[in-house]
Each structure stands twice: as structure tokens, then as C-alpha cells.
Amino acid sequence: MQALYAQLLVGLINGSFYALLSLGLAVIFGMLNIINFAHGALYMMGAFCAYFLLNLAGIGYWPALIIAPIVVGIFGMVLERTLLQWIAGLDHLYGLLLTFGLALIIQGVFQNFFGSSGLPYAIPDELRGGMNLGFMYLPIYRGWVVVFSLVVCIGTWYLIERTRLGAYLRAATENPTLVRAFGINVPRMITLTYGLGVGLAALAGVLSAPINQVRPLMGENMIIVVFAVVVIGGMGSIMGSIVTGFALGVIEGLTKYFYPEASNTVVFVLMVLVLLVKPTGLTGRAA
Amino acid sequence: MTAMTDDTLPVTPRALRDEMIALVVMVALLAIVPWSGIYLFFVMQALCFALLACAFNLLIGYGGLLSFGHAMFLGTAGYVTAHALKVWALPPELGILAGTGAAAALAVITGLVAIRRQGIYFAMITLALSQLLYFVYVQTPFTHGEDGIQGVPQGYLFGVFNLANATILYYVVLTGFLFGFLLIFRTINSPFGEVLKAVRENEPRAISLGYKTDHYKLLAYILSGTLAGLAGSLKVFVAQNASLTDVEVSMSGLIVLMTLVGGLGTVFGPVLGAFVIVAMQQYLAGFGQWVQVIQGGIFVACVLLFRRGVIGELAHLLKRSL
């Protein structure tokens, strides 16, 4: 049973990353009509940013948790202003190709300087050790990642679904021209939205650094799994992305325990099943 | 919303004549390659990729479906052909048939799943399906994991043509390429191709006219996957191996890049694009990961600066269809 709980926890952690990444993808797709293929590369940049902060500037985990998403978010906003904005209004597929190219560039540059091996990033002192819960041993850092990700996800959901800013955002997703006519600076909102989505990816990167090590290709496989998560959940609803992300992480964890050979493929198999039963994805709305 | 290939010219007798002239020039050039002193291995490899890119282009350029998983057909056909030749000791013609057949079967299965969604979702689904297959091939024993199937014997085609002879192999690969190319050329100029273009331009309208658009898309997908498989089978004879690199996501990306550089929705663009990209990889092989950075840069430049690709821009400039 110990092993089952341990795999469940690993599943929840992966689920947190899936949720944070697919949430960002959904928000970006809503505003920019772009599927951000560079999301995995930006997730990796978040982890590297935390690594640089620690090793070059001596800035630890806690400040990095805020600084890294902001730095990478600003980098994302620069990308949006200089490159992505020029393809607005073109076929969605151009956005996919452009961001795929960006992912190749970013990952290639990092691979040139850091190879393919992992760089260690220590768990902060406050979160070391573990707790005995009676039925299982819980490493504190892992518990922290799950709880913190959940809080960030729900915070983002609240921001978009319950605040005035979120209302502008949803309105601009539905009809940008009309929202612009009301005097709201939609292009600036688009840039900020991209920054927000990218920041969430970078945050996931920082969270994963002490668990998975910092590797140039850490986002390469991740982004494809997250695409499958997005196909399963549909990009129509914020809450849908969060729930699907966590649920698929847990299912993946359970598979690792019961049938480890299929743990890499279970998400894709589920995607096929969902497509056969309900092609529009679980949360329904057709794109 | 602007479709990806909105400025292709309508097929007129003149356009068809231009394309026929270009076709004759291309065949003539390819036929004399063995006397030109150009490294044959390079041209054969480029021809395999050219067929692959043409098959991919049939889907995106004429059906409006961007597959980000075409490497799965290349890899599957490659593995099956290599296994058939090496382990079952089948003659080359049956090996090619087995590999292409496997790719066709894979296309039927994945097609039924993938065409349930359009546009961006189609791209993500094909990508996920090819990744699923990648993990399957990592684990199944017959692919030999990271090593791949090495030292595949080339054998005698129909018991007569010795494929270990580079010149003979070249003409066999060229024949395979031309077979696929002409099949695609015929398809896009057929009533079937016209319906496919109608589906690309306006699917609801095509449905309202009574066309079962899903059937057309599935057929195009199967044809595309099968021809990509043929490319994969031929490639085994050139490279004499089948490995995981042919099933990787980066390979699917490379196929997209070749077609994008040459020109989406042009007849000859994918061929030129394949030669350009394969040549680039040969010349830049010493630069390690910078090749990947350069490829990414070409993606960005193509999307931002010349979406029509080389042949597309040329055709636009000359106001001809190529």
C-alpha cells in the first residue's frame, strides 16, 4: 500500500504541472487563438531561471518562486510583441508552427550550453524532511507542490471568472472589436494574457526543479502530454483544464502502480477513448 | 480567417501545362543524377523525404489538415520493412509491400480517431498519437529499442535487380518516388481532389452540398499515410537501418518544415523543400545542436516572412501554378 500512495502522490504532482500548463494554454488560446507549442520550453526556462538565480546571484527558492515567473513572463511578452502579434488573424496553424520554431530555438540554445543531463536544485531548508501520516510517509516538499499549485490554479480561476479584469478578458475573447470600442486596450490585454500564461508555465518549472532536476529537454515530452490533456478536457473552461490536469496525473500515477509498462502511454490512450466517445472533449464546447 | 493556402491559383489548362513542363524538367534532372557526380546517397535520402513531404502536403495543402505526427508512418513502415527483410528474410518487393501495408493499416486506425476534430485539435491529436506509438516502439522487443534494427540486407528486387548497387538502388528509389508523386498529382487534379479543396475552403458548405466530408478527409488521410509509409520503406534500403529517430516528434517537425520551406499547397514545393533541408542537415552536421536552433529560425522566418515558401513565392511572382 505504501507504494500505491507514493505513486498517487507522484501522480498528483504531475497532475499539478499538467493543470498549471494546460491552464496557461487555455488562457492563451482564448485570447490569442494560438496553441503555444513553446509552453514546454518556457516551463523549462522557469526552472533554469531559478537555477541561475541560486547559482549566479545567490537568490534562493522563495524569491525565485516570484522572480522567475515574472522574468520568463516578461520574456514571453517580448516574444508576443515582436513575433506573435504579426500572425494575429491568420490560420491558427501558423501560430502552432511559429511557436514550434521558437521551442526548437530555445531548447537548442539551452542544450548547447548545458547538454542533456540534469542539474541539481536543492529543496529549500524549510521544506526538507517529511511527515508520517500513519498510512504513508509524506515528503513535505511534494505536499507543498500539490497544495501550492492548487491554490495558484484556483486563484487564476477566480481572477478570470470572478473579477472585473477577468470579465474584460472573457469579453475580449468573445468579441475583441466590441470590447475595443468600449475603450479597453485589447492589444495590451493580449500581451498581458500571454505573459500570464507563460508565467504560470515558468512557475510550474520552478516548482518542478527540486523534484525533476533542471534539464534543457524537461518540457519537450511534457508539452505533448499537456496537448493530450487539453484535447481530453477541451479548452472551453478554466475549471475543466484544472480538473482534467489533476485527474490525468492521478490516473497516470495509478497506472504506474498497477501496470507500469503503460504509464507513458495511458494519457494518450485515454485521449483516443475520449475522442471516440465524445469528440468535443469532456467539458464540451466545440472550438 | 485566412486559410493557409488561400492564394493558390485555380486549375486552368494553362496551369496544368505549366505543371506538366515543370514535371518533365524535374524527371529529366533526376534521371541524369547518376552521371552528374552528385553523391547518390544524398539524393536517395532526399527523394525519400520528398515523397514523405509530398504525402504530408496532400493533407495540409489540399485538405487543410495539418498532421504533426507523420513520422509515425515513416517509422512504422521502416520498422516493418526492416524486420521483414532481416528476420523473415522476405524479398525486397514483399518487404516494401509489408511496410507500406502496415502504414496503411495504421492510417486507417489513427485516421478514424484524428478526423473527429479539425484544425488545431487535429494537429495536437496526430502529435499525441505519434508519441503514443513512439513509446510503444521504445518498449516492444522487435524494434530493439535505442539500437534500432541495424544492418538490414538490401537483397535483389524481383530476384533480378541488385539493390546493393547504388545506381540500381537509385533508380528503384526514383521509381518509387515518381509513383507516389504522380499518384498525388493525379489525386489533386481529380474530382476527388476538387472536393477535398472545397472541404478545406468551406466545410459546412461542402456538407450542405451533400458531400460526406468525413469520408473525403479520411480517404485523403489514408492515402497520405500510405505514401508516407512507402517513403519509409524505401528509406530502409538507403539507410539500411530503422531506428527511433524516425518516429520522434522532431522528425514530424522536420516534415512540416520541408513542406513549409518549399511551399504549402504547391505541387513541387515539398520536393524542393526536402532537398534544401536534407542538404542543410548534411552541411551543418558538425554544428551539433545549433542545427536545431537554425531549423527553429527557419520555421519562424517562414511563418513571419514568406508563408508561401520558395515555390509558392516563385509561382506568385510568375503568376503561374507550380
Test B129 with A101 for CB contact under 8 angstroms: no
B208 interfacial to chain A (CB closer than 8 Å): no
pLDDT at B219 over 90: yes
Q: What is the CA radius of gyration of chain A?
A: 19
Spatial CB neighbours of A269, under 8 Å, sequence gap ≥ 6: A262, B132
A63 interfacial to chain B (CB closer than 8 Å): no
Test B117 with A220 for CB contact under 8 angstroms: no
Do B63 and B109 fall into the same domain?
A: yes
Do B229 and B259 fall into the same domain?
A: no
DSSP code of B58? Answer: I
Centre a 10 Å sphere on the Cβ of residue B18 and count the other Cβ atoms it contains.
Answer: 18
pLDDT at B162 over 90: no
Within chain A, residue ranges assigned H as helices are 2-32, 39-57, 61-82, 92-114, 140-162, 164-174, 176-181, 186-212, 220-233, 238-258, 266-277
**pLDDT on residue B1:** 37
Q: Which grid coordinates are listed for A21?
A: 500548463
pLDDT digits (tens, 9 = 90+) for A216-275: 999 988 999 999 998 888 777 888 889 999 999 999 999 989 998 888 899 999 998 988
Which of A34, A100, A107, A285 to substitute to test the interface with B, most B CBs within 10 Å?
A100
Spatial CB neighbours of B274, under 8 Å, sequence gap ≥ 6: B46, B47, B49, B50, B52, B53, B258, B262
Are the beta carbons of A203 and A150 closer than 8 angstroms?
A: no
How many whole angstroms separate alpha carbon A283 and alpha carbon A238?
10
DSSP 3-state assignment of A131? strand
Mean pLDDT of chain B: 89
**B307 domain residue, yes or no:** yes
Mean pLDDT of A21-43: 91
Q: Which grid coordinates are listed for A262?
A: 503503460
**B22 domain residue, yes or no:** no
φ, ψ for residue A137 (rounded to 5)?
-100, 125
Lowest mean pLDDT: which of A276-285, B156-165, B168-177? A276-285
Among B227, B247, B267, the domain boundary falls at B247
Percent residues over pLDDT 70 in chain A: 99
Concatenate the DSSP letters of all residues of A45-68 into one string.
HHHHHHHHHHHHH---HHHHHHHH
Q: Which of A101, A221, A264 sits opposite B303 (nearest CB)?
A: A101
Do B152 and B296 fall into the same domain?
A: no
Quote the pTM value.
0.91
Residue B141, amino acid: P
**B38 domain residue, yes or no:** no
CB interface of B with A, residues 116-135, below 8 Å: 116-117, 119-121, 123-125, 127-129, 131-132, 135
Helices (H) and strands (E) in chain B, counts: 15, 2
Smallest CA–CA separation between A72 and chain B, in Å?
Answer: 19
Q: How far is CA B312 from CA A93, B1, B19, B24, B265, in A?
A: 18, 20, 13, 19, 8
Residue located via cell numbers 499537456 = A226
Do B295 and B157 fall into the same domain?
A: no
Q: How far is CA B135 from CA A46, A183, B87, B138, B227, in A?
A: 27, 51, 22, 5, 23
Lowest mean pLDDT: which of A88-97, B256-265, B268-277? A88-97
Do B141 and B279 fall into the same domain?
A: no
DSSP 3-state assignment of A136? coil
Residue B82, amino acid: A
Mean pLDDT of B76-96: 92
Closest by CA position to A16, among listed A256, A245, A270: A245
Are the beta carbons of B157 and B163 closer than 8 angstroms?
A: yes
Buried b (16+ CB within 10 A) or exposed e, B67-98: bbbbbbbbbbbbbbbbbbbbeeebebeebbbb
Concatenate the DSSP letters of all residues of A158-200 into one string.
HHHHHSHHHHHHHHHHH-HHHHHHTT--HHHHHHHHHHHHHHH
- β B156-157/B161-162 pair status: antiparallel
B1 interfacial to chain A (CB closer than 8 Å): yes
pLDDT digits (tens, 9 = 90+) for B29-41: 888 888 887 888 8
Chain B residue nearest residue A37, CA to CA:
B124
Helix (H) or strand (E) holding A132: strand A130-132
**pLDDT on residue A129:** 82
Spatial CB neighbours of A229, under 8 Å, sequence gap ≥ 6: A18, A22, A241, A244, A245, A248, A267
DSSP 3-state assignment of B300? helix
HSE on the CB side for B169, CA within 13 Å?
A: 26
Do B242 and B96 fall into the same domain?
A: yes
Q: Which of B2, B4, B300 sits opposite A101 (nearest CB)?
A: B300
pLDDT at A135 over 90: no
- Alpha carbon B38 to its chain centroid, in Å, reads 23
- Per the DSSP assignment, residues forming a β-bridge with A120 are none
- Domain boundaries, position B282: 249-322
Percent residues over pLDDT 70 in chain B: 96
pLDDT at B2 over 50: no
Do B210 and B81 fall into the same domain?
A: yes
**pLDDT on residue B3:** 52
Do B240 and B253 fall into the same domain?
A: no
Mean pLDDT of B213-227: 94
**B160 domain residue, yes or no:** yes
pLDDT at A126 over 70: yes
pLDDT at A287 over 50: no
pLDDT, greater one: B23 or A134: B23
pLDDT band of residue B207 (cuts 50, 70, 90) is: very high
Lowest mean pLDDT: which of A202-206, A240-244, B220-224? A240-244
Q: What is the dihedral of CA B13, B16, B17, B21, to 10 degrees?
A: 180
pLDDT at B52 over 70: yes
**B6 domain residue, yes or no:** no
Do B179 and B228 fall into the same domain?
A: yes
Q: How many residues in total does chain A contain?
A: 287
Q: What is the dihedral of CA B237, B240, B242, B245, to 10 degrees?
A: -100
Do B216 and B137 fall into the same domain?
A: yes
pLDDT digits (tens, 9 = 90+) for B116-143: 888 888 998 999 999 999 999 998 888 8
pLDDT at A176 over 80: yes
φ, ψ for residue B91 (rounded to 5)?
-70, 160
Test B124 with A83 for CB contact under 8 angstroms: no
pLDDT at A286 over 50: no
Among B189, B217, B247, the domain boundary falls at B247
- Alpha carbon B198 to its chain centroid, in Å, reads 23
Q: Give B299's contacts in chain A (Cβ within 8 Å).
A: 97-98, 100-101, 104
pLDDT digits (tens, 9 = 90+) for B275-309: 999 999 888 888 877 889 999 999 999 999 988 88
DSSP code of A235? Answer: S
Q: Classify the phi-psi angles of B292: left when phi > 0, otherwise alpha if psi is within -120 to 50, otherwise beta.
A: alpha
CA angle B123, A16, A77 (to 5 degrees): 60
**pLDDT on residue B57:** 94
Spatial CB neighbours of B133, under 8 Å, sequence gap ≥ 6: B72, B75, B76, B106, B247
Among B201, B218, B247, the domain boundary falls at B247
Q: Give A83's contacts in chain B (Cβ within 8 Å).
A: 300, 304
Test B293 with A108 for CB contact under 8 angstroms: yes
pLDDT band of residue B18 (cuts 50, 70, 90) is: confident
Residue located via cell numbers 542539474 = A119
The total of structural domains in chain B comes to 2
pLDDT band of residue B320 (cuts 50, 70, 90) is: confident
**pLDDT on residue B4:** 58
**B31 domain residue, yes or no:** no
Mean pLDDT of A170-174: 87
Centre a 10 Å sphere on the Cβ of residue B243 and count the other Cβ atoms it contains.
Answer: 21
DSSP code of A138? Answer: E
Beta-sheet strands, E only, within B102-218: 156-157, 161-162
Mean pLDDT of A137-145: 90
ipTM score of complex: 0.90
Do B190 and B305 fall into the same domain?
A: no
Q: Which grid coordinates are listed for B226?
A: 500510405
Do B212 and B117 fall into the same domain?
A: yes
Are the beta carbons of A284 and A274 closer than 8 angstroms?
A: no
Q: Give A271's contacts in chain B (Cβ within 8 Å).
A: 125, 128
